[in-house]
Amino acid sequence: MPEGSTSRRSIVRTVDAVVVGAGFGGLYMLHRLRDLGLSVQGIEAGEGVGGTWYWNRYPGARCDLPSLAYSYNFSEDLRREWRWSERYSPQSEILRYADHVADRFDLKPLIAFGARVTHAAFDDDAGVWTLETDRGDRIVARWCVMATGCLSIPQKPTLPGEETFKGTIYHTAAWPHEQVELGGLSVGVIGTGSSGIQSIPVIAEAARRVTVFQRTPNFSVPSRNGPLSDAEIAEFRAAYPEYLETLRNSPGLVGAAEGAPIPSEAEQQQAYERLWGAGGPSLIAAFPNLFTSVEVNDGASEFVRRKIAEVVDDPAVAAVLQPHDHPIGTKRICVDSDYYQTYNRPNVELVDLRRTPIEAITPTGLRTTEREYSLDVLVFATGFDAISGALLAIDIRGSGGARLKDAWANGPLAYLGMTVAGFPNLFTITGPGSPSVLSNMIPAIEQHVDWIADCIGYMREKGYRRIAGEPSAQAAWMAHVQAVADSSLFPRANSWYVGANIPGKPRLFTTYIGAGYRAKCDEVAARGYEGFVLA
């Protein structure tokens, strides 16, 4: 197979590096590795680039961080030529951006689309990885980079009777590519995380009736989305150097909390009002100790609960929508467009599954312990097997045939979130133990890709052929990740951050929320890859 051709048939190739996934991580990784002069092969399960933005096409899907910041920084030309149309861009526009990047840097010819990696095994003698896909591809490569994403394996509960349902079932994370017509239909939505909260208002505008089946309410803040003005773009560009500096020296979500004073009640109210009015997730960044101080967090949580009561007309419905089971922000904050207002519509009903749990799906709808709801369409907005899910979905075998499944039996372990002890020459972009999902993903991806590319470049320059993380360095790093998490309020929530949404998944908080992450990665590299064995 010649370099640079995209195959629809299975391929058998030996290359320097293989990159699994063509989302934002995979695309930039391919670009960097090819620039280093490596032969590369990308493999992507979807029929196009974009990763999570390729699959999550549900109505209302959009960025929950400002698009100006949710963008690549590696190319100044790219930054200048791309113009986002809205503050929080819709999924279709983000997908167009990913597609534009792939075309602009001529990356698509490097990728085999429609191929899902099923096996990856390291050969100790040859020092290479062999990857196999579900359509018979076989790629052999010295370097293997998993750019498989933190939220790419949809989670769907098994409910009794689902096979009898005569209507249509969708999952937000596997939404059809063609237009889904909901006009005149009765739609049920299970799940009120970010995907449910973004989709429910849009579904409610189209459908005849919407029944929302909520088990646990989440905190949501208004996005105040709208067209992005030239003035906003100019403002962002003017402050760009400081923005990059903040990325480089981020204190993490809890890093800045130490010694921070408890803001007065008046200061808190003023800040929350202003940030609620401005819109977006910055409300939970109002004070550095919001994630460490119960007192400060209670203030913010209570503020949002009060707003819910103000927005929702029916006090009984408002009460069901008010979260009380976790400190605000310790489950991913949702950013919405008229979510709470949607419950004032006459065609929307909220069902409290805590009071009346689901009993079964029936041929014509869904039955709770209280009654049956007649439905034409049922939408599962039930989330993902996050962080480790996509890696564990592949049968990965490292040195001596060790299985990743066994290595991670008690929860995922990785050194700096990028390598796993016992799995030489394997890199994980935004893997467990890195800031990943609790930072802005695109800059986090860029930092990992740059580190990995620099590492591979260094290895080649020095004539090394194998890099493996030392178990002791990995254990020390993960203990630090855990200690930082334990100093925060995060472990108090039954969130997907700790794997609580997946039955049987070990409960472990594996996202790094402390200070100095980038400096630590740079220091490790500058010391000749301290904590790694190079051979």
Per the DSSP assignment, residues forming a β-bridge with 532 are: 469
Residue 137 interacting with ligand NAP (CB under 6 A) = no
Single residue of 343, 384, 490, 532 touching ligand NAP by CB under 6 A: 384
Residue number with CB closer to ligand NAP (123 or 370): 370
Q: Which helix (H) or strand (E) holds 253?
A: helix 252-255
Pick the binder of ligand NAP from 194, 293, 436, 439 (CB under 6 A): 194
Q: Indicate whether 188 belongs to the interface with ligand NAP (CB under 6 A).
A: no
* Smallest separation, CB 303 to ligand NAP (Å): 21
Query: Is residue 419 a contact point for ligand NAP (CB under 6 A)?
Result: no
Q: Closest CB to ligand NAP among 199 and 488? A: 199
- The distance of closest approach from Cβ of residue 213 to ligand NAP in the complex, given in angstroms and rounded to an integer, is 6
Interface mask toward ligand NAP for 437-476; x: CB under 6 A: x---------------------------------------
Residue among 69, 442, 448 at smallest CA distance from 281: 69
Interface with ligand NAP includes 352 (CB under 6 A)?
Answer: no
Of residues 248 and 355, the one with the C-beta less far from ligand NAP: 355
SS3 497: helix
Q: What angle do CA 260, 490, 430 make, to 5 degrees?
A: 100
Q: Which residues are 119's β-sheet partners?
A: 132, 395
What is the 8-class DSSP label of residue 229? P
Nearer to ligand NAP, 263 or 329 (CB): 329
**C-beta of residue 153 within 8 angstroms of C-beta of residue 385:** yes
Q: Residue 175, interface with ligand NAP (CB under 6 A)?
A: no
Kindly report the three-state secondary structure assignment for every residue of 415-469: ECCCECCCCCCEEECCCCCCCHHHCCHHHHHHHHHHHHHHHHHHHHHHCCCCEEE
Distance CA 113, CA 210 (A): 36
Q: Does 32 bind ligand NAP (CB under 6 A)?
A: no
Task: Tell me which residue of 220, 228, 176 sits closest to 201, measured CA to CA.
Answer: 220
Considering only 501, 512, 524, 531, the residue that binds ligand NAP (CB under 6 A) is 501
Q: Closest Cα to residue 188, out of 174, 173, 167?
A: 167
Asked whether position 215 contacts ligand NAP by CB under 6 A, the answer is yes
d(CA 461, CA 144): 18
C-alpha angle with apex 95: 89 to 96, nearest 5 degrees? 90
Map residues 310-349 to x or -, x wherever contact with ligand NAP holds by CB under 6 A: ----------------------x-----------------
Which DSSP letter does residue 499 get? Answer: T
Per CB under 6 A, 192 contacts ligand NAP: yes
Please say which residue, 198 or 250, places its beta carbon nearer to ligand NAP.
Answer: 198
Write the CA distances from 166 to 6, 163, 170, integer angstroms.
40, 8, 13
Total site size for ligand NAP, rule CB under 6 A = 25
Residue 169 CA to residue 174 CA, distance in Å, equals 11
Told to check if 220 binds ligand NAP by CB under 6 A, we report no
Taking the complex as a whole, the smallest distance from the CB of residue 173 to ligand NAP amounts, in Å, to 6
How far apart CA 66 and CA 335 sit, in angstroms, is 11
Stretch that binds ligand NAP, among 94-102, 194-202, 297-305, 308-316 (CB under 6 A): 194-202
Stretch that binds ligand NAP, among 185-193, 233-241, 266-274, 394-402 (CB under 6 A): 185-193
CA gap 331, 212 in Å, rounded: 20
* From candidates 216, 269, 482, 487, binder to ligand NAP by CB under 6 A: 216
With binding defined as CB under 6 A, does residue 62 bind ligand NAP?
yes
Q: Largest Cα–Cα distance in the chain?
A: 69
Nearer to ligand NAP, 197 or 207 (CB): 197
Residue 130 in 3-state DSSP? Answer: strand
Phi, psi of 246 (to 5 degrees): -65, -40
Q: Segment near ligand NAP (CB under 6 A), from 38-46, 195-203, 457-465, 510-518?
A: 195-203
Least CB distance to ligand NAP at residue 157 (A): 3
Q: Which stretch binds ligand NAP (CB under 6 A): 189-197, 288-296, 421-429, 525-533?
A: 189-197
Residue 367, interface with ligand NAP (CB under 6 A)?
Answer: no
d(CA 252, CA 243): 14
* 193 near ligand NAP (CB under 6 A): yes
CA–CA distance, 322 with 324 (Å, rounded to integer): 6
Place of tokens 């890709």: 449
Please name the helix (run of DSSP H) or strand (run of DSSP E) that holds residue 91, with its range, or none: helix 91-104
Using the minimum distance from each CB to ligand NAP, give the nearer residue, 64 or 446. Answer: 64
Select the residue interacting with ligand NAP from 18, 22, 27, 63 (CB under 6 A). 63
Among 130, 152, 198, 439, binds ligand NAP (CB under 6 A): 198
Interface with ligand NAP, residue 281, by CB under 6 A: no
Residues in touch with ligand NAP (CB under 6 A): 62-64, 151, 157, 172, 190-196, 198, 215-216, 332, 353, 381-384, 437, 496, 501
